[in-house]
Amino acid sequence: SGAGPGSPDLAGLHVAVSAGGTREYLDPVRFIGNRSSGRQGYALARAAVSRGARVTLVAANVTLADVAGADMVRVESVAELREAMLKSASTADAVVMAAAVSDFRPRATQGTKIKKTAGTDAPSIELERTEDILAELSQTRRKPGQVVVGFAAETGDSTGSVLDYGRSKLAAKGCDLLVVNEVGRDRGFESEENEAVILGSDGSSTEVPYGPKSVLAHAVWDRVVTLVERPAG
């Protein structure tokens, strides 16, 4: 289902997409990073441009070429990503958090390089929680009709399946759609392909078989168009 590539069904809409993975610096040369190539977020942005949207692409430490036709915003940390997404969300009709966001940051960042000193123990790093950007976007969204989308990489275990965890996360975050994919088995990260289930807060669930990230991207926008409130005029 859905209009697919080439159809301008997002014309007149502004969408904001985050991509990549955040970095939290310990000192000027070291950081705690979240692994993500940015490919899924870039595929989402490219698909939205092709469907006629005005697109803001907030890229955290991505080395891919810019998406033609998208407004690029470069960020590094969770704080910068949060600021950029909240700013975009003030005008966006849909926001998609495809970035891998650090759950923790060092409590302190040293201004100068941490040195190893002979005869002393290795330092320990004290961490603090970061802001939950997706939960904040969900709570502060303009209602009705601004669509908020999250991504979750999950693994199933003895107490719950991948989809059980996805359903609870969707509810906990308060977003409209959660794109859940199973990790492990060498899937997701650097790959060109992805497989996922798009869960909706309305109870819906759309399976997207293993295939190019562009196909998953279009499947996400197909769901967004059914939920988004078009601006008047």
Choice from 130, 146, 181, 194 touching ligand CTP (CB under 6 A): 130
Among 101, 105, 100, 99, smallest CA distance to 129 is for 105
Q: Which stretch binds ligand CTP (CB under 6 A): 47-55, 59-67, 86-94, 150-158?
A: 150-158
Pairing of strands 104-106, 127-129: antiparallel
Residues with Cβ within 8 Å of residue 223, at least 6 apart in sequence: 177, 198, 200, 204, 206
31 is in an annotated binding site: no
Q: Rounded CA gap, 11 and 113, in Å?
A: 49
Does residue 97 interact with ligand CTP by CB under 6 A? yes
Q: Which stretch binds Ca ion (CB under 5 A): 13-21, 68-76, 97-105, 149-157?
A: 97-105
Closest to ligand CTP by CB, 53 or 220: 220
**Pick from ligand CTP, Ca ion, none: which does 48 bind, CB < 5 to 8 A by kind?**
none
Among 176, 218, 199, 148, smallest CA distance to 3 is for 218
Choice from 35, 64, 72, 103 touching Ca ion (CB under 5 A): 103
**Which sign does the torsion angle of CA 52, 53, 54, 58 carry?**
negative
Q: How many residues form the binding site for ligand CTP (CB under 6 A)?
A: 12
116 is in an annotated binding site: no
121 is in an annotated binding site: no
Q: How many residues form the binding site for Ca ion (CB under 5 A)?
A: 1
Among 220, 204, 196, 141, smallest CA distance to 173 is for 141
Question: H or E element: which one contains 124?
Answer: none
Does residue 133 interact with ligand CTP by CB under 6 A? yes
Q: Which two tokens stand for residue 203?
A: 């109870």
Binding residues for CTP: 103, 113, 151, 169, 173
Q: Tell me which residues touch ligand CTP (CB under 6 A).
A: 97, 99, 101, 103, 130, 132-134, 150-152, 169
Q: Interface with Ca ion by CB under 5 A: which residues?
A: 103
